[in-house]
Structure 1
Amino acid sequence: MAARPETPRRLGVFAHPPRHDLAPQNSASRSSNATQRTGCATRHDLAPRNSASLRSAARASRIHGVPASAKDVASEPGKENGIRARRERAAAGVRATGDWLRRLGAATAGASPDGRLTVAVDVRAFWEPLTGVGWYLHELLRHLAAAEGLRLRLYGPTLFPNPDAPGPVVDPPRGPAIEMVTGLAPPGRWGRRRSVLRALRLMEPLVFALQRNAVLFAPNFILPRTFRLARGATVATVHDLAFRRLPGTVREETRAALDAQFHTTLARASAVITVSRTVRDELLATSAIGAARVTAIHHGPGHLSTRKGGAPPPGTPGRYMLHVGTIEPRKNIELLLGVWESWVADDPAAPALLLCGRRGWKSEALHAAFDRAAAAGWLHHPGYVDDDALAALYRGALAVVCPSLYEGFGLPLVEGMAAGTPVVASDIPVFREVAGDAAVFAPVHDPTAWKRALVELAHDEILRGRLAELGRKRAGAFDWSIAAARTGEVLRRAAGDG
């Protein structure tokens, strides 16, 4: 029987291309399909459906105008939507990265375009519960917030914070002269990756140096690591020299940092501010810096001078004398405990001792004594309280007691005097400088003299009235507006000298 001539197959809408036009096969599948399949076999009848063969089928169907299969046809819109979504995400990422680079560039823009003096300010103190240094900085910035000719750029713990990291404990002051420089971490998940943030923070001093601030202001003794490659004129505030004069009373990490960086900061400083003439004299006595570069500027009357409302903490006794400050060795709390124990033994009606401040470093030995005194009823320790409660405690106290071994200024003295409350303080030079004749002074290590002064004050209403009047008058000499204006002058002068 004669063989029937083979009819050529045409490629068209209803015809399928031969097997070799669609996708490569292995030799076994080619021989099997050659004997078992016709020219009308569909793509999924010919080869396993792996991802490569699906892509080949789709490509062939586009070339020849033939759908690969019903499933492939249905999946095409889904694939296109997926591709479109990926492209949109990529575009959004590019835009976010561009915004981040623009922010980083704006932060490194250098001098202020309007001619204001650009001052970088270390405000890491705002990330902790505020004590003396923190309140000093807060009040200073609050009174400089509208200063003409200044552009105060505030820097927190890092330029590249994790978006989930906690913010400052207290909001920085706001005003036309103030801007916060932070949040420069990359957008999205990159800004949360520890490896990325670690790498950026290694480069932080360089990024900061590129910002070309004219003045670097270190309000807490030393320049932070971020500032150390920058070339601006340096101004530092020195609050005391406890780490030199009473090193055993200072936290070990604080002393180590000051030992390592204090003299380096002094050496590069165009100007140094001390918070009292006493500290200025102590600093000059070290011969570490010339007198022309050191300016003494007193604090203002504390941040409580405008507080009128509020109530004392629950459990506050009716009659008490008040100590304000962190419980740490320099505050000499042991003396007060001994005085009160003796006083209460002589007179059970003696006023209570109220300690306002958190338990600090190297105070563990006092905790058991606190517990015994609290159980006896003559000691109250509410800890760290808010501003309104603290203002109420100052106003309600019979006296403010400050038995410190050493201080750089003595803000509780000024706050007590401003509240019209008599002050009994250690007879040390800086307290004499701050309180003048508006306080009663007792030797630092003489509990008998302290007990005598406190008993007399508790029983002499006329003496309390006279001290209250003298104290209000004395407190009026301390003004944050004056302190801020004089600090601004130091910053401008340093920029000119630099």
Structure 2
Amino acid sequence: MRIAFNARILQAPRTGIGHYVAELAMALTREPDVHLSLFHGWGWSSQLPQAAMPGYSRLGPLLRQVPGAYRARRWLEQKRFDQRRSQVIDLYHEPSLWPLAFDGPTVMTLHDLTHLRYPETQPPARLREIERRLGHAVEQARLILTDSQFIADEVRQHFGLPAERLRVAPLGISARFHPREPEAIDGVLKAHGLEAGRYLLCVGTLEPRKNLSLALRAHAALPESVRQAFPLFIVGMSGWQQAQLNAELKSALADGHVCLAGYLPDEQVAQLLAGARALVFPSRYEGFGLPVLEAMASGTPVITTRCSAMPEVAGPAGNYCEPDDPQELREAMLRLIEDRQHWQACRAAGLQQATLFSWERCAKLTAAAYRQALGG
């Protein structure tokens, strides 16, 4: 099967969908009947880019300010995409929201319906483009992949699709996420002023949907001695409407028991996950919640919300709270800090839960969707 795979998102610093594209593409190369051609927005390659395009982080704000910029970029990408048409492509896979035009069979991945559930978290110009294109894209796709059953059910109900047009392919775990001895991560932790097992970690883009304010309020409610011994360490790049967090975040940072690290390289994040007392992931809405899986695979207990796909990923290993209940999150933090037996049980349960997920399985399910879309 000759597959055109849109890897344009890898021009940006990698967050959830970027990791999905990179890991799935690598895993698909191990499927014997799958031959990928990777489209990078401006051309084609058989190789994944090793790093984001220089200056890409400045492109988003620029697109939001220039009228028609999203459509203009889209037009240019379509022209570049069509230049490949001299070579035969059996199927096109769009792994990130809206497909380019293609007159053959298309498979698309819908990771979530954030634009419907939380439209205020999207830049207006981008939201208008999604609304303009997505309905037609869903109609044209032969099969739609989702990361979780929760999102498959949402997509089916919202678009009125038959169940046979949807396939669930849960995400996997990169090899860098595994338990590590304290001495193996000591250098990275010391560089950030941390000690193994003595901090709580938040990972995610700084935007309202990620609900970081809940973690800040819960941590601030811990006893002073506990906050001093177990600071809250936050890793994530700036997102849309981060200004909503600024006042609360500035207050927490001034308190001295919260640290904002910004965007960090993947290997540093993996080491920080392995060294944390717990991952605090209070998101209101996720199509999967990859940091939850990565933390469990690293031997780190997880506190997350009873929302969307998170219980599907964390399963019985998760510690859960409501997305608007800082007291419940505070108690979950305190228990993992003070109750060593509970911490050990959550660690063991998380490692077991993580074995249910792999990029190899994701790739096999994706390849099976390709075959089905091609009539195999």
Q: TM-score range by the shorter chain?
A: 0.7 to 0.9
Give 2:309's match in structure 1, choosing from 430, 439, 443.
430
What is the CA-CA distance between 1:303 and the residue it aligns to? 5.4
Check 1:222–1:348 CA distance in 2 against 1; reply closer, same or farther (3 A cut). closer
Rate the CA distance shift 1:342–1:144 in 2: closer, same or farther, 3 A: same
Structure 2 counterpart of 1:287: 159
Deviation of 1:448 (Å):
1.2
Shift of 1:383: 1.3
Specify the alignment match of 1:238 in structure 2: 110
* Partner residue in 1 for 2:243: 364
Q: TM-score, normalised by structure 2?
A: 0.85
The answer as to 2:7 corresponding to 1:126 is no
Instruction: Report the counterpart of residue 367 of structure 2 in structure 1.
Output: 488
Equivalent-residue separation in structure 2 for 1:441 and 1:253 (angstroms): 35
Shift of 1:307: 8.8
SS class of match (1:121): strand
- Indicate conservation of the 8 Å contact 1:302/1:411, yes or no: no
- What letter corresponds to residue 422 of structure 1 in structure 2? P
Whether the aligned pair in 2 keeps the contact of 1:128 and 1:168 (CA below 8 Å) is no
| Aligned residue identity for 1:127 | Q
1:275-302 superposed Cα distances (whole Å, 9 cap, x missing partner): 0000001111113422111001100124
CA distance in 1, matches of 2:82, 2:21: 26
Q: Which has the higher contact order (CA 8 A, sep 6+)?
A: 2
Query: 1:205, CA displacement in angstroms?
Result: 5.4
What per-residue deviation string (whole Å, max 9, x for no partner) do you get for residues 82-140 of structure 1? Answer: xxxxxxxxxxxxxxxxxxxxxxxxxxxxxxxxxxx211111101111011011011111
Could you say if the C-alpha distance between residues 438 and 413 of structure 1 is closer, same or farther in structure 2, counting changes exceeding 3 Å? Answer: same
On the 8 A contact 2:144/2:165 being kept in 1, the answer is: yes
Residue in structure 2 matched with residue 301 of structure 1 by the alignment? 173
**Matching of residue 315 in structure 1 with residue 186 in structure 2:** no
| Residues 257 and 396 of structure 1, relative CA distance in 2, 3 Å threshold | same
Q: Which amino acid aligns with 1:455?
A: L
The answer to whether structure 1 residue 455 and structure 2 residue 334 are counterparts is: yes
Tell whether the 8 Å contact from 2:97 to 2:109 is kept in structure 1 after alignment: yes
- Greater displacement, 399-408 / 142-151: 142-151
What one-letter code is carried by the residue in structure 1 that aligns with 2:93?
Answer: F
Corresponding position of 1:154: 38
Instruction: Tell me which of 376, 385, 397 is aligned to 2:276.
Output: 397
Question: Could you tell me which amino acid in structure 1 is paired with residue 90 of structure 2?
Answer: A
Across the aligned residues of Structure 1 and Structure 2, the Cα RMSD in angstroms comes to: 2.5
Task: Determine helix, strand or coil for the equivalent of 2:215.
Answer: helix
SS in 2 for 1:330: helix
**Partner Cα distance (2:122, 2:79) in 1:** 31
**Greater Cα offset, 372-381 or 439-448:** 372-381
Residue 159 of structure 1 and its aligned partner are, at CA, apart by 2.9
The answer as to whether partners of 1:266 and 1:289 remain within 8 angstroms in 2 is no
Q: Is the 8 A contact 1:276 1:430 kept in 2?
A: yes
Listed as ranges, the gaps of 5+ residues in structure 1 are 1-116, 162-166, 172-198
CA distance in 2, matches of 1:306, 1:472: 9
Q: 1:321 to 1:222 in 2, by over 3 A?
A: same
Structure 1 position 145, deviation (Å): 1.5
Is the contact between residue 401 and residue 425 of structure 1 (CA under 8 Å) also seen in structure 2? yes
Shift of 1:203: 4.6
Kept in 2, the 8 Å contact 1:307–1:388? The answer is no
1:305 Cα deviation after fit: 2.7
1:324 aligns with 2:203: yes
Provide the C-alpha distance between the structure 2 equivalents of 1:202 and 1:386, rounded to a whole number of angstroms: 31
Report the TM-score when normalising by structure 1: 0.65
For 2:167, the aligned partner's letter is T
Contact 1:129 1:169 in 2 (8 A): no
2-structure distance, mates of 1:257, 1:211: 29
Name the SS of the counterpart of 1:436 in structure 2: helix
CA distance in 1, matches of 2:154, 2:352: 28
Deviation by residue 1:463-489 (Cα, 9 ceiling, x = unmatched): 000000000000000011111111111
CA contact (8 A) 1:324 1:412 kept: yes
1:180-234, CA deviations, whole angstroms, 9 ceiling, x for partnerless residues? Answer: xxxxxxxxxxxxxxxxxxx98785454344444110110001113xxx1x31100
**CA offsets 1:310-348 (integer angstroms, 9 cap, x no match):** 542523333210111111111001111111222255855
Matches within 5 A, 1:41-440: 117-159=1-43, 168=49, 170=51, 203-204=79-80, 206-224=82-100, 228=101, 230-302=102-174, 304-305=176-177, 311-312=187-188, 314-318=191-195, 319-345=198-224, 347=226, 349-440=228-319
- 1: CA distance, partners of 2:79 / 2:285: 39
Structure 1 position 169, deviation (Å) = 5.3
Q: For residue 306 of structure 1, report the CA deviation from its aligned partner.
A: 6.0
Aligned partner of residue 380 in structure 1, secondary structure: strand
**Kept after mapping to 2: 8 A contact 1:263/1:288:** no
Counterpart amino acid of residue 279 in structure 1: I
- Find 2:356's aligned residue among 477, 480, 484: 477
State the distance in 2 between where 1:242 and 1:380 align.
28
- Equivalent pairs counted in the alignment come to 346
Aligned-pair distance for 1:436? 1.0
**Distance change in 2, residues 1:388/1:476 (3 Å):** same
The alpha-carbon distance between structure 1 residues 200 and 336, as it changes in their structure 2 partners (threshold 3 A), is closer
SS of 1:382 mapped into structure 2: strand
Question: Is the alpha carbon distance of 1:338 and 1:413 closer, same or farther for their aligned partners in structure 2, counting shifts above 3 Å?
Answer: same
User: Which residue type is aligned with residue 51 of structure 2?
Assistant: V
How far off its partner does 1:414 sit? 0.5
Tell me the residue number matched to 1:26.
Answer: none
Name segments (4+ residues, structure 1) moved above 6 Å: 199-202
Q: 8 Å contact 1:240–1:408 — kept in the other structure?
A: yes
Give the 3-state SS of the residue equivalent to 1:432 in structure 2.
Answer: helix
CA distance in 1, matches of 2:304, 2:98: 29
Shift of 1:170: 2.8
Q: Deviations over 1:332-391 (max 9, x none)?
A: 011111112222558554511111111211011323433332232111111111222112
